[in-house]
Structure 1
Amino acid sequence: MPGLPKDEVVAGLDIGTTKVVMAVAEVEEEGRLNIIGLGEVPSAGLRKGIIVDIEHTAQAVARAAAMAERMSGYRIRSAYVGITGSHIQSLNNRGVVAVAGENREIEPEDVKRVLQAARVIPLAAERQIVHVLPRQYIVDGYDGIIDPVGMTGSRLEVETHIVTAAGAAVQNLLKSVQRAGLEVEQLVLNPLASAEAVLQPAEKELGAVVVDVGGGTTEIAVVAQGGLWFASVLPVGGDHITSDIAVGLRTPLSQAEKIKKEWAAIPVGTVPDNELLPVPNVGGHGEHTVSKKMLASVIQPRVEEILTLVHREIGRAEFKGLLPGGAVLTGGGSLLPGMAELAGEILQLPVRVGAPCRLGGLADMVSTPAYATSVGLLIYGARSLGRAQAAAGREPVWCNLWTYLKGWLRELFQ
């Protein structure tokens, strides 16, 4: 089985609380993704998005990778890996440098220096930086610049969004992936990946919020002017709804999850009270019946709590705009009927449910909100791959010549 050709194929690994997903895609020249492999297994070893058992997590990752390998026909050696958890923090910061060089032409080295300047923030010893994401560059006071390389100026500034994480959580994630026999190409914040998968270009530019309701967490990303403005992870998600059903209806958790997927709907006022459904008893001894309205009355308070916390986090972002792109719900929890309607009332924004699109190959396998993060990791990886190729294209001729000569000399004296 051949290994992944780094210039053509990317792999994304989403290690969630309820499932581990490995997705593989071919990257076409114009950047379009063709899905060629997918592996999904029940998650083990995580609680609220944080790894609590490295060995069980590594086993789940290895099984998901093996499934994706069989489907794609490629050996997976590395992947872009998502990171989440309530330990995630983010902030906005600026960096400023003077442009070096005789002609005041901005070089890639100047961009590196200004990004390094933006990284200088007060950081506790137990935390580390995951992302330094440039939103825009400013050259001599002129803002809105996406790529300043080649421009002329004396002062270069950058506005960035910096994401930090608990160092212990990062190390446990890296160990789990490496123990499964894989290398980490890059850690990618889950809500950032989800935003890449479900937002339209106009929404990214005007301002929108992505709310990814997963099993153990609810992830929030405020995106505006084409970049990430704010990110947060709440330690509550669909598993808490399942738990409420299990307690409220007196049924095992496995049956509560099945009931949630097959029968649950909100708001309570829209659900008929004359429709009954069978509910297995705890211990497997018979069953009892409850109305769908009662089921809705058990679910709705938890959903309202989650959405209220999301609304509070959006306020904490201190975004000055109006978010005309509204809110985009995604993740498995967004599939709950009536979720978008209730979210619109609580968030006071226009709301839609978002799923990955503009994909080729086996796109039908991942074109649901539940795979938003997995597809977003592939998009992020493809974009990073494109930047690496562009950087290689800017490499000076003498560098390529020296590389050729080293290879020729190595072969000559072997």
Structure 2
Amino acid sequence: MIGFPALKQKKEIFLALDIGTEAIKSLIFTKEKEKNIILGADLKEYYRLGIQDGADLDKEVMKEAILEVVSQAKKQAKTEMKECLILWRLPGNILKEKIVLNSFQRKNPKKIIDQEEEDEIYHKIINQTQQEVSQGVFQESGILPKDIHFIDFKILERKMDGYQINQLTGISGQNLVFRILFTFLAKNYLENVKKITKDLGLERLKIVSEAENLCLAFSSQKITAVFLDIGGKFTQIVSMKEGKLQTLSGFEMGGEIFSQKLSQILGITKIRAEDLKIRYAQRTLSEEVRKRISEILLYDCRSWFSNLKLKLREISRGEEKILPQTILLFGGGSLLPEIEEILAGEEWDDLPFLNRPQVKFISPKDLKNIEDRAKIISTIQYIPSLLLCYTP
């Protein structure tokens, strides 16, 4: 009997598009066993392209920028992408992530829950919670419930009569409590994402929850920490306990405010101010200039810190009475020296930390199972992009 060699299985290629509030990044990667292999990447800052906001997905200049970063990454990857899956990360002011607590009371607590009742409970609790979230968004932003699209949900925790359970079937009891993560956005943004995906010659897309992927990236380490993703216009706060997502928060303030202050005080264009901020963060300026810039940025840095403490205080008033001892930083806005200095040097006595929190940066090498064959991922600006590699 003649044996034929097995056909070599074609590797699936993934395109990750990270739409930030200050820059756009692309990654092309594949998977080999448990490894995520980076084949190509590119980054473009908006201020160099005349783009005001990453939310402007419908503008032609933004579409051209996306096509450009994908084109540059493709040149490095040297691979076909006709059938690849495109993974989208959107800014925190577009893609919303919200953890919601909701309860359900059973009419017959002595009855053991079967599969049919479990499906009915989930259907009711998800629909009810989505309606409540939609109404909350309408009150906050004026977006009508019919104009909101729910991307996904994940049940983080289930409790029956105060006891944590892993499933409903086979359980009896009366009072159920669910903690659920919802990911959603306005429908007009979703249509823009679909249009750009089509313009790239692709059909398959997935909009990804950063908080969920952050947990997947650090799940094996069972880490307990507060993660700060400091972008251009938004600071996202993710609290994790033993590798599990606990709370989400954030506020609309990031690295862009420091560029604006430099432009305003020094009377220079936004482009020159952004260049100056980058050189300052890279510590390539003279000591005299660095001291002057530090004085200019101090007020806004303290304002950012006050907003952070306010949100951490809100988190501590919920289920997390004691805040994690470790604060992990990533995102382009975290590169500013003042951010690290104020976190390390200011007082935390008015917040419920057992000891003074330790502040650390997440670097690409801290992410497990990432292999950078392209040898171009050298900055923490790429951390949000690399998290897309963990998408299930």
Q: Please, what TM-score do these two structures have when normalized by structure 1?
A: 0.70
* One-letter amino acid matched to 1:218: T
Structure 2 CA distance, aligned partners of 1:107 and 1:64? 48
Change (3 A) 1:18 1:195: farther
Q: Does structure 2 retain, via aligned residues, the 8 Å contact 1:127–1:166? A: yes
Structure 1 CA distance, aligned partners of 2:156 and 2:319? 16
Range with greater deviation from structure 2 (312-321 or 353-362): 312-321
Structure 2 CA distance, aligned partners of 1:22 and 1:183? 17
Q: 1:234 aligns with which of 244, 251, 254?
A: 251
Is 1:201 paired with 2:209? no
Structure 2 CA distance, aligned partners of 1:365 and 1:132? 34
Structure 2 CA distance, aligned partners of 1:225 and 1:12? 27
Q: 2:371 aligns with which of 340, 357, 360?
A: 360
Structure 1 CA distance, aligned partners of 2:93 and 2:155? 23
Change (3 A) 1:324 1:17: closer
Structure 2 CA distance, aligned partners of 1:97 and 1:181? 49
**Counterpart position of 1:66:** 71
Deviation at 1:328, TM superposition (A): 1.1
Structure 2 CA distance, aligned partners of 1:319 and 1:6? 48
Is 1:33 paired with 2:33? no
Q: Secondary structure at the match of 1:365?
A: coil
Q: Secondary structure at the match of 2:247?
A: strand
RMSD of aligned Cα (Å) = 3.7
**Counterpart position of 1:12:** 16
Q: How does 1:118-157 map to 2 (within 5 A)?
A: 118-121=126-129, 122=132, 123-124=134-135, 125=145, 126-138=147-159, 142-143=163-164, 145=166, 148=167, 152-154=170-172
**Counterpart position of 2:261:** 244
Q: Does structure 2 retain, via aligned residues, the 8 Å contact 1:39–1:65? A: yes
* One-letter amino acid matched to 1:335: L
Per-residue CA deviations over 1:53-74 (Å, capped at 9, x if unaligned) read 4322222222222222222213
Is 1:315 paired with 2:321? no
Deviation at 1:331, TM superposition (A): 0.6
- In the TM superposition, structure 1's runs of 4+ consecutive aligned residues that sit over 6 Å from their partners are 104-109
Q: Secondary structure at the match of 2:164?
A: strand
* One-letter amino acid matched to 2:361: V
Structure 2 CA distance, aligned partners of 1:46 and 1:192? 29
Is 1:350 paired with 2:370? no
Is 1:172 paired with 2:220? no
Per-residue CA deviations over 1:269-294 (Å, capped at 9, x if unaligned) read xxxxxx956xxxxxxxxxxxx53211
Structure 2 CA distance, aligned partners of 1:6 and 1:97? 50
Change (3 A) 1:35 1:276: closer
Q: Does structure 2 retain, via aligned residues, the 8 Å contact 1:17–1:46? A: no
* One-letter amino acid matched to 1:168: N
Deviation at 1:130, TM superposition (A): 3.2
Q: Does structure 2 retain, via aligned residues, the 8 Å contact 1:61–1:177? A: no
Change (3 A) 1:309 1:48: farther
Q: Does structure 2 retain, via aligned residues, the 8 Å contact 1:22–1:40? A: yes
Change (3 A) 1:256 1:54: closer
Structure 2 CA distance, aligned partners of 1:217 and 1:12? 20
Is 1:339 paired with 2:339? yes
Is 1:296 paired with 2:299? no
Question: What is the aligned-residue identity percentage?
Answer: 20
**Counterpart position of 2:93:** 86
Is 1:57 paired with 2:82? no
Q: Does structure 2 retain, via aligned residues, the 8 Å contact 1:9–1:26? A: yes
Deviation at 1:139, TM superposition (A): 6.9
Range with greater deviation from structure 2 (86-95 or 326-335): 86-95
Per-residue CA deviations over 1:359-392 (Å, capped at 9, x if unaligned) read 114275325320111111111x2xx2xxxxxxxx
Per-residue CA deviations over 1:148-195 (Å, capped at 9, x if unaligned) read 49x743578643222343333333344334334334532123455456
**Counterpart position of 2:209:** 189
Deviation at 1:95, TM superposition (A): 6.3
Structure 1 CA distance, aligned partners of 2:325 and 2:114? 34
Q: Does structure 1 retain, via aligned residues, the 8 Å contact 2:158–2:177? A: yes
Change (3 A) 1:196 1:212: farther
Q: Secondary structure at the match of 2:39?
A: strand
Q: Please, what TM-score do these two structures have when normalized by structure 2?
A: 0.73
Change (3 A) 1:36 1:243: same
Structure 1 CA distance, aligned partners of 2:188 and 2:179? 28
Q: Does structure 1 retain, via aligned residues, the 8 Å contact 2:13–2:28? A: yes
Q: Does structure 1 retain, via aligned residues, the 8 Å contact 2:85–2:206? A: no
Unmatched 5+ stretches in structure 2: 1-8, 107-111, 136-144, 349-356
Range with greater deviation from structure 2 (188-197 or 81-90): 188-197
Deviation at 1:262, TM superposition (A): 2.3
Number of aligned residues: 346
Change (3 A) 1:185 1:6: farther
